[in-house]
Every structure is written in structure tokens, then in C-alpha cells.
């Protein structure tokens, strides 16, 4: 399945690209946003991050004609500041985060992301890291698995699923996606199994987030991105999960408000260094959702450094 870039025109518009500016795509993926940024640059430069070697190589093929204007960096975006400093960059004009999982992660059965294909339980974005979903499922304590399902997917049957996983692995290690799907189904009541939607969706989502430490990496990178902005530089975040959006919302709020000590009777006139560009979240149009169902949960937030 072809990867469709979500909120493409909205992201480019809100990055407010300067033709000679320095920009960062923290989530290169299929390269859709990166190509649109590069089309807007003249003497400017784009630094494109992806920890997934397959994704990076596919994007290089797509963007080969822009090779003088783009630098590809295979690294987790949590290393944003360190990697850019190594390139001689200490400030930027814009940073983009598109936190959706690339379509090819789900569509490639061998990656073990999908409950629709039978494969080894993997789910690693960076295939050079040793820790996989199979290791998590087979070594974490039952209460730890329950906590992951609650925290990252709000799975109300987390205790039952965690218990069934713990029981099943006593017989033999859980190795494949379909083995896990069957275990999840065995933990759920029939009325839930009859409902619309796949019964394993939330569990697989939670495991993917845990395996890749996605939320901590995002929060770390987002703060680095905001602090590296030049005046009038912007950070654009496109999220697909309530926990990601919450991190963006709260982080942006922290940077756009000034806390005054309660003991001060007169408040000094102090303005924050950053401002929100959109007071309300930006969401895809009905037309985009019709053309690309994966866009339905997307939310975009934007912050600008104003002084």
C-alpha cells in the first residue's frame, strides 16, 4: 500500500518556510513532507531523521534529485540536538514531527507490527536495537504488561489479557503475531469479540509504543526542537494518539506561559519567548479522511519562537 502523507499542505503552510532557512524533518518516513519542504527551499537545507534503515533508503530514492539540499540522518529523533550539532547546526528555522507509523511498517508482514499478518513478534522501528515485542511479551512481569496496556492503549481488559499472556508463556514462549492475537481473543468476552474493530488493535498499539519508547523519545526531542528555534522559527507536530497530543499540548503550554511567583504583589510585564500559532488543533478535512482513512485521528499543533 502506498504511504499517503497526512496534513501535507497544512504542515507546509504552518512551517512558514523561508527559502534560505534550515529545516528538520524528524520523521522522514515515506518522504512526503520532506519533498514538499525541499520544493520550498532555494539555498536552504533540510536535515531528515529516521531510525529505520529501510525507510531512510526508500526516502533517499524518492528525494535523490534534491541531494544537495538534504542531509539524511539515521538516528532516533531523541538525539536531535546532538546529531545537528555534529553537522555544525545549533539553530534552525523549523522542525516537523509526523508521529504516524509509516504504512510500510504495517504492510510489511516481516516487521511484526500488524495483527493482520502472521510473523515474528518484532515491532522495532530501529532494527539495530535488540529489544523486541517478543522479548517484552515473554520476559516482563504480568503487572508490567498490564500497566503498558492501560497506559499506552487504555485497554480496559488489560488485567485479563496480561493474565492470559502470563499463563500461555508458561507452556511455551509466545513467538508470533497470530499466537498473540489468539491469546488476546481468549481473554475477551464474546460480546467484545463481536464488536466492530480488531480485538488486538489496542494491545498491539501499546506494545509498539513500549518497544520503541515512543513517548519519552518524542518529549525529549520536542523540547530540544523548541529550544533550537531561531526567531520566527516554528515547530509543527502531527500526532495520531491522545498521549502524543497531550505531550505536545502541555509542552507548548509550558513554553508559551510565564509563571509568576505567588509572593509577588506586583507582576512584572514579562512576555513568553514563544507563542501558539493555532489556538485550536488543526485536523484533516473530510475530503482527506475519505481519501486516506489513516488520517482520521490526526491532530496538528504549531508553536513559534517570537523573541
pLDDT tens string 132-190: 999 999 999 999 999 999 999 999 999 999 999 999 999 999 999 999 999 999 999 99
Half-sphere exposure of 43 (CA within 13 A, CB side): 1
Taking residues 83-93, report their average pLDDT. 98
Strand partners, 97: 237
The conformation of residue 17, written as its DSSP 8-state character, comes to: -
User: Residue 280 belongs to what H/E stretch?
Assistant: none
Bridge-based pairing of strands 229-239 and 299-305 is antiparallel
pLDDT at residue 287 greater than cutoff 50? yes
Query: Quick check: 253 pLDDT over 60?
Result: yes
Looking at residue 267, what DSSP letter applies? -
Domain residue extents for the chain: 8-104+214-305, 127-211
Average pLDDT over residues 36-62: 95
Query: Is the pLDDT confidence value at 1 over 50?
Result: no
Instruction: Give the span between the Cα atoms of 236 and 176, in whole angstroms.
Output: 37
- In CATH terms, are 8-104+214-305 and 127-211 the same topology? no
* Rounded distance between C-alpha atoms, residue 180 and residue 300, angstroms: 33
Q: Looking at mean pLDDT, say which of 64-73, 94-103, 255-264 comes out highest.
A: 64-73
Strand order in the sheet with 70-73: 70-73, 45-49, 22-25, 92-98, 229-239, 299-305, 274-276
196 band by pLDDT with thresholds 50, 70 and 90:
confident
**HSE-up (13 A, CA, CB side) for residue 33:** 33
At residue 245 the predicted structure's pLDDT band, cuts being 50, 70 and 90, is very high
For domain 8-104+214-305, the CATH class is: alpha beta
Q: How many CB atoms lie within 10 A of CB 41?
A: 19
Residue-wise burial string across 253-285, b where 16 or more C-beta atoms lie within 10 A, e elsewhere: eebbeeeeeeeeeeeeeeeebbbbbeeeebbbe
- The span from the CA of 232 to the CA of 90, in Å, is 16
- Above pLDDT 70, what percent of the chain? 93
Which three cell numbers, joined as nine digits, stand for 57? 533508503
Residue 139 CA to residue 148 CA, distance in Å, equals 13
Q: What is the pLDDT of residues 230-240, one digit of tens each?
A: 999 999 999 99
Select the more confidently predicted residue: 191 or 108: 191
pLDDT reported for residue 153: 94
CATH number listed for the domain at residues 127-211: 1.10.150.170
Q: How many other β-carbons are positioned within 10 Å of the β-carbon of residue 243?
A: 15
Residue 261 has pLDDT above 70, yes or no: no
Q: What is the dihedral of CA 265, 271, 274, 279, to 10 degrees?
A: 80
pLDDT at 108: 73
Query: What is the structure's pLDDT at 279?
Result: 86
Q: DSSP code of 16?
A: T
Q: What are phi and psi of 259, to 5 degrees?
A: -90, 125
| 108-122, 184-198, 267-281 — most confident range | 184-198
What pLDDT shows up at residue 13?
97
Residue 248 has pLDDT above 70, yes or no: yes
* pLDDT, mean of residues 89-101: 95
Q: Is the entire prediction scored with pTM above 0.75?
A: yes
Cα 249 to Cα 26, 79, 277, distances in angstroms: 18, 21, 12
% of the chain surpassing 90 pLDDT: 82
3-state secondary structure of 34: helix
For the segment 262-278, what is each residue's pLDDT rounded down to a tens digit?
Answer: 555 555 667 899 999 99
pLDDT in tens, 2-17: 567 899 999 999 999 9
Report residue 287 as a C-alpha cell.
475530503
- Please give the torsion angle defined by the CA atoms of residues 173, 178, 184 and 189, in that order, rounded to the nearest 10 degrees: -140
Region of 255 on the Ramachandran plot (φ > 0 left; ψ -120 to 50 alpha; else beta): alpha
Amino acid at each position: 500500500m502506498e504511504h499517503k502523507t497526512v496534513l501535507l499542505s497544512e504542515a507546509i503552510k504552518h512551517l512558514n518556510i523561508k527559502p534560505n532557512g534550515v529545516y528538520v524533518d524528524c520523521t522522514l518516513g515515506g518522504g512526503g513532507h520532506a519533498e514538499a519542504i525541499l520544493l520550498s527551499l532555494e539555498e536552504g537545507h533540510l536535515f531528515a531523521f529516521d531510525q529505520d534503515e529501510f525507510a531512510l533508503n526508500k526516502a533517499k530514492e524518492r528525494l535523490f534529485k534534491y541531494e544537495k539540499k538534504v542531509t539524511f540522518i539515521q538516528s532516533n529523533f531523541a538525539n536531535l540536538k546532538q546529531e545537528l550539532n555534529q553537522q555544525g547546526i545549533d539553530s534552525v528555522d523549523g522542525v516537523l514531527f509526523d508521529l504516524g507509523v509509516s504504512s510500510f511498517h504495517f504492510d510489511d508482514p516481516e516487521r511484526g507490527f500488524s495483527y493482520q499478518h502472521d510473523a515474528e513478534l518484532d515491532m522495532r522501528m530501529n532494527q539495530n536495537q535488540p529489544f523486541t515485542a517478543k522479548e517484552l511479551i515473554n520476559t516482563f512481569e504480568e503487572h508490567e504488561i498490564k500497566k503498558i496496556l492501560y497506559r499506552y492503549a487504555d485497554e480496559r481488559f488489560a488485567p485479563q489479557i496480561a493474565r492470559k499472556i502470563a499463563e500461555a508463556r508458561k507452556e511455551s514462549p509466545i513467538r508470533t503475531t497470530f499466537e498473540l492475537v489468539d491469546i488476546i481473543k481468549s481473554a475477551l468476552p464474546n460480546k467484545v469479540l463481536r464488536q466492530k474493530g480488531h480485538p488486538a488493535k489496542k494491545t498491539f498499539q501499546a506494545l509498539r509504543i513500549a518497544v520503541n519508547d515512543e513517548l519519552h523519545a518524542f518529549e525529549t526531542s520536542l523540547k530540544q526542537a523548541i529550544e533550537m528555534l531561531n526567531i520566527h522559527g516554528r515547530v509543527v507536530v502531527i500526532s495520531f494518539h491522545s498521549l502524543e497530543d497531550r505531550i505536545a499540548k502541555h509542552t507548548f503550554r509550558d513554553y508559551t506561559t510565564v509563571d509568576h511567583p505567588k509572593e509577588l504583589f506586583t507582576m512584572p510585564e514579562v512576555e513568553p519567548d514563544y507563542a501558539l500559532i493555532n489556538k485550536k488543533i488543526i485536523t484533516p478535512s473530510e475530503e482527506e479522511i475519505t481519501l486516506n482513512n489513516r488520517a482520521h485521528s490526526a491532530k496538528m499543533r504549531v508553536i513559534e519562537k517570537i523573541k
